[in-house]
Amino acid sequence: MAHDNLSFEPEGAPEEMGRLRFMAQATVALGGIVGLGLAIPFATALWPKSELLNANKGWSDITPDEFNSLKASIDKPVKIHFTKKNLQDGYLVSDQDYYVWGIHMNPDEEQQFRAQRPDLFSGGGQVDFPVVTMGFTMFSSVCPHLQCKFAWDDGLKAFLCPCHGSQFSKIGTHMKKPDGSYIGPAPRGLDPIPFREQSGVAQVEWVKYFANVPYRLIVSYS
Ligand code: FES
């Protein structure tokens, strides 16, 4: 009979099942490829973009009185307050009060600062803005360990963090005990904040760094 040469398998026969399984797997694989193709741009779209990181980036004026105090201060840091205005589409949406610690250095001190803080001036871990401008440096008021606010201690002649006891010199070096171990758990020295004088007005740019790591990574500007 002619049909002896035709390949015919009833539904459910092993070879038919194999074909169906192959087609199902191919469909799943194809779906996976298409899904991946869609997922990558989707994930990329969700990844924080520089616009997000840079939201609220901007300069804030510091008060002339406090800047004058900093100019006159040669032996200890000065607390510098400012109000940061957050704008959206040109409209003020919020403002927030911050402070930084200002240091005034003569040329010799600046030289020492550069030599004693290689984490800021060399070694690849430095920040991408000038750390010293016109003999002034501004330090973030946030401890690089777990972000407590530290303060200058006149008795110690050092910055002291009240949370876990880290101590920092006037130039922000993480201080050590006589046995060479660090005083407190801070993973790095104090963090610098951008500073400039623009048309006679002194300004700072608030920067927030990633906490508790030895390197500096800016995580936000608010
Ligand atoms: S937060 Fe400053 S030492 Fe822990």
Confidence of residue 29 (pLDDT cuts 50, 70, 90): low
The ligand 1 atom nearest the CA atom of 165: 3
Alpha carbon distances (Å) from 92 to 5, 52, 60, 119, 149: 84, 17, 13, 36, 27
Q: State whether 62 and 10 are in the same domain.
A: no
Confidence of residue 110 (pLDDT cuts 50, 70, 90): very high
Residue nearest to atom 4 of ligand 1 (CA): 164
As for ligand 1, residues whose beta carbon falls within 6 Å of it are 143, 145-146, 148, 161, 163-164, 166, 184-186
Per-residue pLDDT averaged across 1-8, rounded?
A: 38
Q: State whether 23 and 85 are in the same domain.
A: no
pLDDT tens, residue by residue, 91-104: 788 889 999 999 99
Per-residue pLDDT averaged across 11-27, rounded?
A: 53
46, 61, 79 - which closes a domain: 46
174 has a pLDDT exceeding 70: yes
Q: State whether 22 and 96 are in the same domain.
A: no
Local structure of residue 132 (DSSP, 8 states): -
Q: State whether 91 and 117 are in the same domain.
A: yes
Q: State whether 25 and 96 are in the same domain.
A: no
Q: Name the residue range of residue 19's domain.
A: 2-46
Pick from 155, 151, 129: nearest CA to 141: 151
Cα of 215 from ligand 1 centre, angstroms: 16
Q: State whether 9 and 109 are in the same domain.
A: no
Give the residue, 209 or 20, on which the prediction is more confident.
209
66 has a pLDDT exceeding 50: yes
Pick from 106, 144, 148: nearest CA to 125: 144
Residues 6+ positions from 56 with CB-CB distance below 8 Å: 84, 86, 220, 221, 222
Q: State whether 97 and 30 are in the same domain.
A: no
The pLDDT of residue 3: 40
Confidence of residue 15 (pLDDT cuts 50, 70, 90): low
The ligand 1 atom nearest the CA atom of 146: 1
> How far is Cα 198 from Cα 61, in angstroms, rounded to an integer?
9
The pLDDT of residue 2: 37
Please count the structural domains in the chain.
2
Q: State whether 24 and 110 are in the same domain.
A: no
Which tokens hold the place of 118?
A: 């290689």
Strands 192-193 and 136-140: antiparallel
